[in-house]
């Protein structure tokens, strides 16, 4: 599988913010799932709402936190198995009053979350031991537990309880919104809603996803069976007292590992996932499934590539808008990243003047487009709050006042984080941690979710070209 390259911090391409932002849409979904706002997130110049609106029109099925395409199927498998374990068939009753089911679901939150944590840990450990770690959630702890600390404790030891520090960072939460956009769920997708449906004896997942996810679910059952036999929190077998290192060695030669495909999509999975993407974002109908391999053969696809490819399609206007939003924001985010890297040094104005004409043209285009009617909640509704800001920065740059521009960028960053009780990135000392969420999830930086969509579609292309039959 080809890894999409990261851009050099000093190369101006797609938006490369100095620090990752957790967009408000994903944050809302996280709150719905767990009631936790997430920690350690910074949108340094508050372009996030603008990025979010255009990204929601272009790539609603992914977020700035999604990494690999097969996590869509892993999410289904994890939730399905957790529901089965928490609410077995004898606890489901179609005749039960819904309010009673909701009350029961509330009491089962703890056991359900415990299953989710355990299954996510099993998945991460399996990916690590299979050498399939690019884009894996929790890979840092798995590497530390096994490769650095030597896996001295049993699998179920308290020190190995969580492969990620927060429940809101598990893949099944991060991908909950995307899978809903791709019609995984029959109704609501929050944990309590899923358990309520299960208790009432109602189906939780759409039949087409159940069929398409059968292979992944079978693999995952085999993985869970292996790890549970070696986990002293759920098993009394002698093997459950083995150290993680001993279990890891056993896994490498087990049928569970042989049956596990990791992040590699089967041909059927790739075809199904792309069909769902096309249904949700019809502009992708302009690219046949067989053409994805050519589109993603050599390098990541840029917004300009997409705009050229989809000219004349319903999504073309959004792609053109994204290009202009990229132009009017990228230089400022790039300059702020330089300020952070140099701990408050002035910006480098030599990089901006050559682009001022392009920035002005894009600002004018966005102003004109925003004046026309648009769907409710689109990027046009928030652009007016940015046009004067960009105009002010253009004026400062034209005067050649690097110090003033640096002060403006730093002041905006400070205002953005002040209400959150955080320190602006440019004020952190050498010993301070970078964005903690970004570190733990080991994420690529990027605007509009374009990098994330690139990676997911490249996985699908790989599955079409080289995947095994379902």
How does residue 118 score in pLDDT terms, banded at 50, 70 and 90?
very high
pTM of the model: 0.83
Dist CA 179 CA 289 (whole Å): 20
Per-residue buried b or exposed e for 439-466, using 16+ beta carbons within 10 Å of the residue's own CB: ebbebbbbbbbbbbbbbbbbbbbbbbee
Per-residue buried b or exposed e for 291-312, using 16+ beta carbons within 10 Å of the residue's own CB: ebbebbeeebbebeebbebbee
| Average pLDDT taken over every residue of the chain | 82
Least confident of 8-17, 97-106, 158-167: 8-17
Are the CB atoms for 226 and 251 separated by under 8 Å? Answer: yes
Return the SS3 of 88: coil
In 3D space, the residue among 137, 22, 138 whose CA is nearest the CA of residue 449 turns out to be 22
Stretch 57-71: mean pLDDT: 90
Stretch 393-409: mean pLDDT: 89
In 3D space, the residue among 169, 223, 176 whose CA is nearest the CA of residue 204 turns out to be 176
How does residue 429 score in pLDDT terms, banded at 50, 70 and 90?
low
Stretch 133-161: mean pLDDT: 92
């Amino acid at each position: 599988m080809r890894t999409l390259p990261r851009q050099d911090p000093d190369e101006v391409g797609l938006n490369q913010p100095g620090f990752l932002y957790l967009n408000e849409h994903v944050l809302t979904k996280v709150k719905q799932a767990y009631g936790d706002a997430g920690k350690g997130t910074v949108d340094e110049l508050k372009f996030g709402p603008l990025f979010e609106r255009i990204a929601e029109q272009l790539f609603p099925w992914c977020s700035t936190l999604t990494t690999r395409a097969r996590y869509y199927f892993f999410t289904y498998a994890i939730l399905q198995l957790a529901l089965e374990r928490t609410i077995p068939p004898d606890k489901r009753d179609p005749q039960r009053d819904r309010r009673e089911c909701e009350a029961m679901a509330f009491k089962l939150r703890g056991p359900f979350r415990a299953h989710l944590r355990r299954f996510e840990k099993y998945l991460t450990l399996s990916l690590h031991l299979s050498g399939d770690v690019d884009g894996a959630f929790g890979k840092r702890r798995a590497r530390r537990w096994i490769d650095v600390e030597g896996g001295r404790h049993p699998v179920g030891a308290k020190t190995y309880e969580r492969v990620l520090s927060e429940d809101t960072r598990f893949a099944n939460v991060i991908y909950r919104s995307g899978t809903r956009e791709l019609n995984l769920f029959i109704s609501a997708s929050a944990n309590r809603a899923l358990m309520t449906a299960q208790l009432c004896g109602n189906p939780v997942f759409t039949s087409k996803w159940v069929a398409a996810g059968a292979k992944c679910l079978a693999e995952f059952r085999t993985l869970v069976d292996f790890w549970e036999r070696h986990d002293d929190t759920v098993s009394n077998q002698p093997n459950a007292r083995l150290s993680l290192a001993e279990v890891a060695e056993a896994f490498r030669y087990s049928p569970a590992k042989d049956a596990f495909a990791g992040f590699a999509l089967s041909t059927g999975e790739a075809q199904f996932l792309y069909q769902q993407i096309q249904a949700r974002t019809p502009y992708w109908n302009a690219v046949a499934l067989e053409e994805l391999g050519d589109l993603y053969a050599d390098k990541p696809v840029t917004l300009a590539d997409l705009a050229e490819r989809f000219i004349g399609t319903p999504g073309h206007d959004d792609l053109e808008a994204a290009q202009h939003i990229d132009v009017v924001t990228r230089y400022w985010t790039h300059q702020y990243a330089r300020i952070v890297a140099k701990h408050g040094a002035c910006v480098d104005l030599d990089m901006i003047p050559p682009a001022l004409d392009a920035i002005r043209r894009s600002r004018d285009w966005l102003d004109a487009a925003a004046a026309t009617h648009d769907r409710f909640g689109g990027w046009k509704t928030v652009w007016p709050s940015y046009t004067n800001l960009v105009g002010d920065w253009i004026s400062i740059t034209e005067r050649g006042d690097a110090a003033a521009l640096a002060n403006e960028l730093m002041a905006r960053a400070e205002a953005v984080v002040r209400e959150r009780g955080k320190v602006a990135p440019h004020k952190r000392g050498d010993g301070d941690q970078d964005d903690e969420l970004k570190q733990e999830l080991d994420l690529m930086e990027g605007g509009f979710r374009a990098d994330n969509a690139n990676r997911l579609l490249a996985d699908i292309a790989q599955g079409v070209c080289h995947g095994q039959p379902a």
